[in-house]
Amino acid sequence: MDFSFLDKYWIYFVKGTEWTIFLSVFTVLFGFIIGVVLALLRMSNIKVIKFIAVAYIEFMRGTPLLVQIYLIYYCLPFAGVTLPDYVAAILTLSLNSGAYIAEIFRAGIQNLDKGQMEAARSLGMPHRMAMRYIVLPQAFRNILPALGNELVVVIKESSIVSVIGITELMYQADTVRGIFARPFEPLIIAAIVYFIMTFTLSKLLGRWEGRLKRA
């Protein structure tokens, strides 16, 4: 094993890590919003809205992320919509993650005691207000471990956007492999960096979850 390339090319891994974190943060942010909306639409009593939400969730969960990236990156220009590379990457990851978060939220809401909603309604709260102030906050606390797992998955799956030229960690590792002509060492460094990010995140989320339980 020869890791001497780090003396010259360590900055590649730093820049790749920065892009990976950037993509992951915005993916989780937009994916969370999409997921909450989809969860509420799926639980709607209006059949058409519910069908659209279910169809979207099943499609996004049932097709490979790589195919979704290609559809958005290569097919949208034919429709007259051209997106910058990083926007296409964040959009694809967010739409994919939103489908999974929607199912997480739906399960969290349905697992709550129905008496929570009934008590809120008996106090005169409209359904929307009860969902916003009573149901969703409790559901969020219950599903925090699952959301943490989804964030970890997003960090790892962000590596796939290297296929459209996003200079995240995996792309930079492949670049160093080509320059240094070493097939394994750059990948080992990338794996270690991914592990550090996901392990640190898991520990931070675990502490946050513990505080919420005590509260």
E-strand stretches of 77-116: none
Give the residue among 110, 94, 66 at the shortest CA–CA distance from 151: 94
Spell out, as residue ranges, where the chain has pLDDT lower than 70: 212-215
Q: What is the pLDDT of residue 48?
A: 93
Gap between the terminal Cα atoms of the chain? 49
d(CA 160, CA 113): 39
Q: What is the pLDDT of residue 82?
A: 82
d(CA 73, CA 86): 10
pTM, rounded to two decimals:
0.85
Q: What is the pLDDT of residue 109?
A: 79
Orientation angle between helical segments 6-42 and 136-157, nearest 10 degrees: 140
d(CA 149, CA 169): 20
Q: What is the pLDDT of residue 115?
A: 73
Q: What is the pLDDT of residue 90?
A: 94
Give the residue among 62, 60, 53 at the shortest CA–CA distance from 92: 60
d(CA 132, CA 9): 49
* CATH (one of 3.40.190.80, 1.10.287.3510, 1.10.3720.10, 1.10.357.10) for 6-214: 1.10.3720.10
Q: What is the pLDDT of residue 53?
A: 93
Q: Angle 35-36-40 (CA atoms, 0-180°, nearest 5)? A: 115
